[in-house]
Amino acid sequence: MSAMTLSPAWRVTAHVALLMVCFAIIGPMLLVVGTSLKPDNEIFSPLPFPVSPTLDNYAAILGDAAFRTYLWNSTGTTLLRVAGQLVLCVLAAYAFARFRFPGHNALFFLVLGAMMIPPQLTMIPNYILIADLGWFDTWTGIIVPNLAMPFGTFLLRQHMLAFPRELFDAAEVDGAGPWRQLWLVLIPNLRPALGALAIVLFIEAWNEYFWPLLISETDRSATLQIGLRGFLNEETGDEFGKLMAGVTLASLPALAIFFAFQRQVMQTFVSSGLKG
């Protein structure tokens, strides 16, 4: 198949359009980084970048005990949530891909259906449930309602269905039961897909704002995304420099992980669509 060719005029137009889209995405990010490097007297200057760059905002925010607590809460809740999601996704996907049981199709239909339900719809019932369980303002309250991940289950099921059935048969003949087939044969071969899913889940959990906002009340459970609001204060004045430094620091893990593994993420999602 020959590559699609564009006329020079169209090519220039396309490049201009793409540059505008890129700027729309990168512009605010550059503004955040620029502001984080500005001293207090330049915060409201019209220039996007500092005249006298300083790391004072970073030093101040990293020395702030509350910020360190938010960082700890974010890291802890994110890692536990992702680990829990992966375990549940693997087990559910394995059941759907490997076994036939009464209600198999109906249950899988429910999983697919759950993917279509907007989270805003379940937020209030979940909020009431969490309050009734006494999990308000706890890590448990932030983590548990997000453990079930229909999309992850669907993605892993597709990968498992593409896994050669003969390998399960060979493992069965070799003496491995379903659990050992899962942990010793399937999971080691599913690492790329699991890695990609873990990255997506990590970024989603790390950037989560609305649910922790509902559940957190004190520094006991507040994550970075919630804690950063503390720098917007009507009484003491907004601390935009620290806020932007915090936003920059909060973005780093997600950005670093995505840039390091973006090829793997893309391949996994493309291949799951092709193989299923």
Partner 1 sequence: MGEVNLSGVAKRFGETVAVEALDLSIDDGEFVVLVGPSGCGKTTTLRMVAGLEEVSAGTIRLAGEDVTARRARERDIAMVFQNYALYPHMTVAENVGFALRMKGFSAADRAARIARAAELMGLSDLLARFPRQLSGGQRQRVAVCRAIVREPAVFLFDEPLSNLDAQLRVSARTEIRALQSELNTTSVYVTHDQVEAMTMADRIVVMHQGRVQQIADPVTLYEAPANTFVAAFIGSPAMNIVTATHDGEQLKVPGGALAAAPAASVGVRPEHLTPGEADGAFVLSGSVHLSETLGGETLVHLKPDDGAHVWQVRLPGHPRLTTGDALTVSAPLAHVHLFDEAGTRIGTAA
Residues lying near partner 1 in the complex (CB under 8 A) are found at 164, 166-167, 169-177, 180, 184-185, 188-189
Alpha-carbon span 91 to 113, nearest angstrom: 19
Alpha-carbon span 182 to 159, nearest angstrom: 13
From the CB of residue 212, how many other CB atoms can be counted at a distance below 10 Å?
21
From residue 152, give the alpha-carbon distance in Å to each of 7, 64, 249: 42, 37, 28
**What is the b/e burial string over 159-190, where b = at least 16 CB atoms within 10 angstroms of the residue's CB?**
bbeebeeeebeebeeeebeeeebbeebbeeeb
Give least dist CB 189 to partner 1, A.
6
Q: Which single residue is written with the structure tokens 């704002």?
A: 209
List the one residue out of 24, 29, 56, 23 whose CA is nearest residue 251.
Answer: 29
DSSP string, 15-27: HHHHHHHHHHHHH
Give least dist CB 171 to partner 1, A.
8
Give least dist CB 200 to partner 1, A.
23
Give least dist CB 99 to partner 1, A.
14
Give least dist CB 174 to partner 1, A.
4
Nearer to partner 1, 86 or 171 (CB): 171
Nearer to partner 1, 124 or 170 (CB): 170
Nearer to partner 1, 167 or 213 (CB): 167
The DSSP output letter for 181 is I
Give least dist CB 153 to partner 1, A.
23
Nearer to partner 1, 18 or 167 (CB): 167
Nearer to partner 1, 103 or 177 (CB): 177
Nearer to partner 1, 132 or 166 (CB): 166
The SS3 of residue 208 is coil
Nearer to partner 1, 33 or 176 (CB): 176
List the one residue out of 214, 192, 233 whose CA is nearest residue 137.
Answer: 214
Give least dist CB 182 to partner 1, A.
13
Both ends of the chain: CA-CA distance in Å? 25
